[in-house]
Amino acid sequence: MAVRSTPSRVAYRNARVIDPASGLDAAPSSAGGLLTEGERVAAIGPEIFASGLPEGAQVIDCGGHVLAPGLVDIRVQLREPGEAHKESLKSAGRAAVAGGITSMVGLPNTNPVIDDEAAIEFVARRARQIGLAKCYAYGAATKRAEGKEISEMGLLARAGALAFTDGTKAVANAQVMRRALQYAATFGLMIVQHPEEPSLASGVMNAGELATRLGLAGIPRQAEIILLERDIRLVEMTGGRYHAAHISTSESVEIIRRAKDRGLPVTCDTAPPYFALNELAVNDYRTFAKLSPPLRSEDDREAIVAGLRDGVIDAIASDHAPQDTDSKRLPFAVAEFGGIGLETLLAVTLELVHKGELDLVSALRLVGWGPASLMGLEAGRLKVGAPADLVVFDAERPWRYDAKKSLSKSKNSPFDGRLLQGTVLRTVIDGRTVFHYDA
């Protein structure tokens, strides 16, 4: 058991300090950097150490690498309670901090479903005990996430639920969705949708030529498009705050763009597989690439990249979905959906920077300040007085992801074996180093 003492003062120097919230991107210098005091940020700036380092401070030389706010991951399946053989709050916490993530928001599709106050409090309490990445929870939008009766959103929010979703299931019934949006708006709460019309989504991979070749039932892109279009109409009708999770098609980007242009309270996120992979990853029946929504065409992948570049997509979330070997070493049609993603969220996002699709500040905004502000979290930014949740990473250092060595209990990554560039060196939560790169 690690000693959980927080050093009183830590001086981070010789760092390229980036704060996407304010647009700060300061070159490394020995006179400047960031100072934490206890659990909070005490000072940031290019001259804060100009007249010497504060007395008694622990000094961390960041080696000229990036110092940024810790990542905020708003779509994680924690599997605890109920499926601790796949993941626990502790194993997810370890994997998260190894990936530079300091805050994550868990989906409610645990067993039991997170649809009452006690369950919300359980997650928060366990996460505090573990002391790794901060864990927040979504409340189920409907009771038992069955899509029939809206949940006690007001009470759940008071207990700490950040927003409401049925997790990996869509709120499919239009009347239920209408009421959920209306009722949530009463308290200024947000509904997060898994945008997939279930009656069209009985397949197992993207519909099209490859599905035909493999003899697998396809999920047409229209399953996503239709539900998004419908939901936008319901947002128009109700004025409810709506967020579409993990969008995957080019049309989805256009639908969200048009909704935003019309001033509707609509946002969206995507996940690394949808901008880094396409459906060819499932060739040879690779069940680790069986995701929900399914990996789409190369044109879709490019459209998602463009959506990230021009700001239509507000956030990138890992969509971490741990599955044990027994759920994945099966014929493709019966294998479970989902891939793990906590450890690769930063590095796969940085691919966009290395390819020149995004600048580094924008990329970090998409995995930090962007999602944090959607959830109303005091995270994802560097601010004097704010919690010292930080990541130090070498944006250039290459590594090969070996999912077998994942700190997650499950190893089902669609990025297994991928050569990545960008290595987390240190992760700090509330002023305390919780992960340190061991070369």
Partner 1 sequence: MSIDDYTHRHLLGIEGLYPHEITALLDRAEGYVAQNRRLDKKTPILAGRTMVNLFFENSTRTRTSFELAGKRLGIDVINMQSAGSSIAKGETLIDTAVTLNAMHLDVLVVRHQDSGAVKLLSDKVNCGVINAGDGQHEHPTQALLDALTIRRRRGHLDGLKVAICGDVLHSRVARSNIHLLTTMGAQVRVIGPRTLIPGGIDSLGVEVFHDMRDGLRGVDIIMMLRLQMERMDANYIPSIREFFHFFGLDQEKLALAKPDALIMHPGPMNRGVEIDSDVADHVERSVIREQVEMGVAVRMAVVEVLARNNVDAQGGK
Using rule CB under 8 A, residue 214 touches partner 1 = yes
Instruction: Pick the binder of partner 1 from 334, 400, 404, 405 (CB under 8 A).
Output: 334
Spatial distance between the Cα atoms of 88 and 36, rounded to a whole number of angstroms: 30
Report the nearest approach of partner 1 to the CB of residue 302 (Å): 19
- Residue list 127-186, contact with partner 1 (CB under 8 A): none
Residue 96, classed as helix, strand or coil, is: helix
Spatial distance between the Cα atoms of 260 and 184, rounded to a whole number of angstroms: 20
Instruction: Pick the binder of partner 1 from 43, 84, 333, 386 (CB under 8 A).
Output: 333
Instruction: Pick the binder of partner 1 from 140, 181, 207, 424 (CB under 8 A).
Output: 207
Spatial distance between the Cα atoms of 370 and 233, rounded to a whole number of angstroms: 25
> Quick one: 129 or 199, whose CB is closer to partner 1?
199
Using rule CB under 8 A, residue 213 touches partner 1 = yes
Instruction: Pick the binder of partner 1 from 208, 230, 264, 421 (CB under 8 A).
Output: 208
Report the nearest approach of partner 1 to the CB of residue 215 (Å): 3
> Quick one: 20 or 339, whose CB is closer to partner 1?
339
> Quick one: 231 or 279, whose CB is closer to partner 1?
279
> Using CB under 8 A, which of the segments 25-33, 42-50, 201-209, 248-256 binds partner 1?
201-209
Q: Spell out, one character per residue from 44 to 83, where the chain touches partner 1: x when CB under 8 A holds, - when not.
A: ----------------------------------------
> Using CB under 8 A, which of the segments 179-187, 228-236, 238-246, 332-340 binds partner 1?
332-340
Using rule CB under 8 A, residue 329 touches partner 1 = yes
Q: HSE of 228 in the Cβ direction (CA atoms, 13 Å)?
A: 27
Spatial distance between the Cα atoms of 272 and 16, rounded to a whole number of angstroms: 25
> Quick one: 7 or 203, whose CB is closer to partner 1?
203
> Quick one: 36 or 278, whose CB is closer to partner 1?
278
Report the nearest approach of partner 1 to the CB of residue 330 (Å): 7
> Quick one: 169 or 328, whose CB is closer to partner 1?
328
The closest alpha carbon to 218, from 122, 293, 119, 136, belongs to: 293
> Quick one: 329 or 436, whose CB is closer to partner 1?
329
- Residue list 299-328, contact with partner 1 (CB under 8 A): 326
Contact present, 157 and 190 (Cβ < 8 Å) = no
Instruction: Pick the binder of partner 1 from 311, 331, 376, 398 (CB under 8 A).
Output: 331
Report the nearest approach of partner 1 to the CB of residue 179 (Å): 30
3-state secondary structure 137-199: ECEECEHHHCCCCECCHHHHHHHCCCCEECCCCCCCCHHHHHHHHHHHHHCCCEEEECCCCHH
Helices 250-261 and 298-309: angle between axes, nearest 10 degrees: 30
Tokens 């956030």: give the residue: 315
> Using CB under 8 A, which of the segments 39-47, 87-95, 202-210, 338-346 binds partner 1?
202-210
Spatial distance between the Cα atoms of 378 and 70, rounded to a whole number of angstroms: 11
192 token code pair:
């997060």
Q: HSE of 182 in the Cβ direction (CA atoms, 13 Å)?
A: 11
Spatial distance between the Cα atoms of 335 and 230, rounded to a whole number of angstroms: 30
The residues, ordered by sequence, that sit 6+ positions from 103 with a Cβ below 8 Å of its Cβ are 70, 71, 72, 73, 133, 134, 136, 372, 377, 379, 380, 389
Q: Spell out, one character per residue from 215 to 254, where the chain touches partner 1: x when CB under 8 A holds, - when not.
A: xxxx------------------------------------
388 token code pair:
């010292």
Query: How far is C-alpha 348 from the chain's CA centre?
Result: 12
Query: Active-site residue 319, yes or no?
Result: yes
Q: Catalytic one among 116, 231, 300, 319? A: 319
> Using CB under 8 A, which of the segments 149-157, 159-167, 212-220, 344-352 binds partner 1?
212-220
| DSSP β-bridge partners for residue 46 | none
Using rule CB under 8 A, residue 210 touches partner 1 = yes
272 token code pair:
């690394």
Report the nearest approach of partner 1 to the CB of residue 251 (Å): 16
Catalytic residues: 319
For binding to partner 1 (CB under 8 A), which residues are involved?
207-218, 284-285, 326, 329-334
